[in-house]
Structure 1
Amino acid sequence: MITIYHNPRCTKSREGLALVKQFDKPFVIRKYLEDPFTKEELTSVIEKLGIPPIELVRTKEKIWIEDYKGKDLTDKDIIEAMLLHPKLIERPIVVNGNKAIIARPKELVNKIL
């Protein structure tokens, strides 16, 4: 099953969702700001993305700049920050089986669908 972790207020996320819909495959929309990740889910998505946790962080968000920027954070600290502040998580994320991508640009969806 395909899952898109989506923020409907984000233009890039809406564009990614529109592209996922074009593939005519079953998928689930997860509005992660309303239905936050568990630690296990976020860790699993990061593993599927194949990136360090910091690459999933929206480092220009005010929360990041004020509370985390410039600090010596471990991967675990960064994951905890994203769990505490889901707004920090880059979007949209599309997961298909054991693969995932951050759909920025939206055309990256083509790589896993």
Structure 2
Amino acid sequence: MIKLYHNNRCSKSRCALEYLEEQHKDFEVVDLLKEKLSKSDLEELLKLLDMRSSELIRKEDAFFKENFGGKNYTEEEYLDIMLKNPRLIQRPIVVKNGKAVIGRPLENVEQLLG
């Protein structure tokens, strides 16, 4: 089963959703803003993405800069920031068969599903 971690306010995330629909793929949508991820969920995503929490957080986001910018954080602190502020998680994330990609550019999703 394909899983899309999605934020409807994000154009790239909407693009990935549209792509999956056009491909007539069976998939589940996890709304990052409505369905709070647990710490273990986020840790599992990081493992599937082969990323550290500092790589998954949107450091260029204005909200991040205003509230967290200019400081150094541990990987655990980045994880906590994302759990409390899911809008700061890179998206969309697509998971299939134990692998995950950030769907920017969309070609990442195409390769995963290929």
Identity of aligned residues (%): 37
Q: SS of 1:112's equivalent?
A: helix
Counterpart residue number, 1:109: 109
Residue type of the partner of 2:75? Answer: D
Separation in 2, partners of 1:108, 1:6:
15
Count of residue pairs brought into register by the alignment: 113
Residue type of the partner of 1:103? Answer: G
Counterpart residue number, 2:100: 100
Residue type of the partner of 2:4? Answer: I
Q: SS of 1:19's equivalent?
A: helix
Counterpart residue number, 1:3: 3
- Normalised by the length of structure 1, the TM-score is 0.92
Counterpart residue number, 1:18: 18
Residue 71 of structure 1 and its aligned partner are, at CA, apart by 1.6
For the 8 Å contact 1:16–1:103, the answer to whether it is kept is yes
Counterpart residue number, 1:38: 38
- Normalised by the length of structure 2, the TM-score is 0.91
Q: For structure 2, which runs of at least 5 residues remain unmatched after alignment?
A: none
Q: SS of 1:95's equivalent?
A: strand
Over the aligned positions, Cα root-mean-square deviation in angstroms equals 1.2
